[in-house]
Amino acid sequence: MSTNKIAPSILAADYANFASELKRIEETSAEYVHIDIMDGQFVPNISFGADVVASMRKHSKLFFDCHLMVVNPERYVDAFAQAGADIMTIHAEATLHIHGALQKIKAAGMKAGVVINPGTPISAIESVLSLVDQVLIMTVNPGFGGQAFIPEMLDKVAQIARIRDEKGYDFDIEVDGGVDNNTIKACYEAGANVFVAGSYLFKASDLVAQVETLRVALDD
């Protein structure tokens, strides 16, 4: 496990100006860019694919945290590796071959992450925790930005943190959904160290200052 990281979600940015939005993110203290890939099948919404990520990569050297909300994500491993993704995080619910998919991601040179929806038990991913670099706990139902934080998911964060510590694993714990200056500290105290924030950050005219409000909330 490493230090706390802020991951602005590009899903909440201006789609017509990704280059300038990435520049705005790079001017902040954020370490990651969280990129949601949605296929209209695993979740109702559609975002974009590997070609757009490849275009983004030309404009940023930040860590690209790609969260695939797609059916059978193993089909897209090579495309996202070539596009410049640093980590590819996939849903346990989206594939029957979660072990093989995670191994394929790592073989392609990316870090591998696994994610579960609010209604999915931790037991669904326990068998792959030794393979992953990151576990993402959704703190809203996936597919749309701007949803309210589900506080009951903090128990899952704490459960994953306990398993990691008991087994001696070394993965980050990421939370995504409803993260703002009022919820981030509780996520941290439960065991999370990577914090995805979208609507809360991009609604502000001063993105640099808004990211710092999350840092201040973590330190309080």
Query: What amino acid positions are annotated as catalytic residues?
Result: 36, 176
Whether 144 has a binding-site annotation, put simply, is yes
Strand order in the sheet with 5-8: 5-8, 194-197, 172-176, 134-138, 111-116, 87-91, 63-69, 32-38
The answer on whether 49 is annotated among ligand-binding residues is no
Q: Do the annotations mark residue 34 as ligand-binding? A: yes
Strand pairing partners for 8?
Answer: 197
**Calpha distance 101→72 (Å, rounded):** 9
Binding site annotation covers 100? no
109 labelled binding-site residue? no
Residue 14 among known ligand-binding residues: no
**d(Cα 111, Cα 95) in Å, to the nearest integer?**
18
CA distance 28 to 67: 21
State yes or no: 168 annotated in a binding site: no
Between CA 152 and CA 16 the distance in angstroms is 35
78 belongs to an annotated ligand binding site: no
φ and ψ at residue 83, rounded to 5 degrees:
-75, -20
Q: Which residues are annotated as a binding site for substrate?
A: 9, 67, 143-146, 176-178, 198-199
Q: Which residues are annotated as a binding site for a divalent metal cation?
A: 34, 36, 67, 176
Q: Which residues are annotated as a binding site?
A: 9, 34, 36, 67, 143-146, 176-178, 198-199
